[in-house]
Structure 1
Amino acid sequence: MSAPHHPIRRRDRALEEKETLRLLEEAEWGVLATVDADGWPYAVPVNHAVVDGALIIHCATVGHKLANLAFNPKVSYCAVTVAEALPAELATRYASVVVFGVAQLLTDEAEKRAALRALGLRFAAEHPEVVDRELDKDLFRTAVLRVRIERATGKARR
């Protein structure tokens, strides 16, 4: 089954695919949404990197997120790059992206290390030695998810 497709109501605010993916790459964090075996949604803020067109997210090796993903690997992810209230207009200036995809837990150590390093360098590009040191120290107690993006939509009010 493919990702859900609900057209954006305000087509005048829809972004082209290239700009949508650029927004996703620029966003420093987003909210990952999963669902548990009883149908309860769970949404948690996380940071991410985009590597080879997929979202890379890290987490602990056990927890609510991984339990949900073991039940159902389908996820939604929302990231916002602009959010500014415009009180005089009773409106908001915003730019956001919503992703639908399937999460996969990386188990190959080399693949996991490369993905986690890309994530670390995204936030600490000027300190690769720190990224490598922390990777060596924490790789065994860190899970890495790769979310294959099936669909992404972007929307903005400039």
Structure 2
Amino acid sequence: MFREMRRKKQILSIEKIIEILNRRTSGVLATSGDDNYPYAVPLSYAYCNNKIIFHCAKTGHKIDAINRNERVSFCVIDKDTIVPEEYTTYFKSVIAFGRARILKDENEKRKSLEILARKYSPNYREGYLKEIEDTLLNVCVVEIEIEHLSGKEAIELVNS
């Protein structure tokens, strides 16, 4: 169902992929947007238990696209170093494919928001718990159940 990567030497291990997903703070969500135009939007996220979690407004382009088609992809760039004298870029990136689900259950939403808050504000537990309670009913939380993960790095990084 998912394509195999052609350049096998450049494939990142699942351990490195998960390390990148846990370390980075932003990625690009790609959906099937209006009139079948692709819609890609940067957002903050958290990775936990083979899922990508993010929060957003309850309405808008992103939510409309997910409601139309739950299949999405999510890309995270870990490294992007331009090497002009070699006419190349040293890169590392991860792409996740999966199905997005808008969380309706308050307990699920709360747990997911806590995962996000621990990633971005780990030293402010009391504050983020209050913020979650204050905003829980007005925020949308989306969970992407990952079906396929791939990661790739520049051949120069493999050889170093």
Category of TM-score, reference length = shorter chain: over 0.9
Unmatched segments (≥5 aa) in structure 2: none
Paired residue secondary structure (2:122): coil
Shift in Å at residue 37 of structure 1?
Answer: 5.7
Q: Secondary structure at the match of 1:38?
A: helix
Question: Where do 1:72-87 residues align within 5 Å?
Answer: 72-87=69-84
Q: Take 1:153 and 1:51, find their aligned partners in 2: how far apart are those partners?
A: 16
* Cα distance in structure 2, aligned partners of 1:126 and 1:87: 40
How far apart, in 2, do the equivalents of 1:150 and 1:53 lie?
9
Structure-1 residue corresponding to 2:23: 26
Q: Percent identity?
A: 33
Deviation at 1:9, TM superposition (A): 2.7
Q: TM-score, normalised by structure 1?
A: 0.93
Q: Equivalents in 1 of 2:24, 2:10: separation in Å?
A: 18
Tell me which of 19, 38, 41 is aligned to 2:38: 41
In structure 1, the partner of 2:140 is 143
CA contact 1:37–1:71 (8 Å) conserved in 2: no
RMSD: 1.3
Aligned to 1:100: 97
Alpha-carbon distance, 1:148 to partner: 0.4
The alignment partner of 2:36 has SS state of coil
1:51–1:115: 8 Å Cα contact kept in structure 2? no
CA contact 1:76–1:98 (8 Å) conserved in 2: yes
Between stretches 67-76 and 132-141, larger displacement belongs to 132-141
Deviation at 1:38, TM superposition (A): 2.5
- How far has the Cα of 1:36 moved from its partner? 3.0
Worse-matched range after superposition: 54-63 or 16-25: 16-25
How many Å separate the matches in 2 of 1:136 and 1:33? 29
Give the corresponding residue for 1:156: 153
Q: Distance in 1 between matches of 2:33 and 2:42?
A: 17
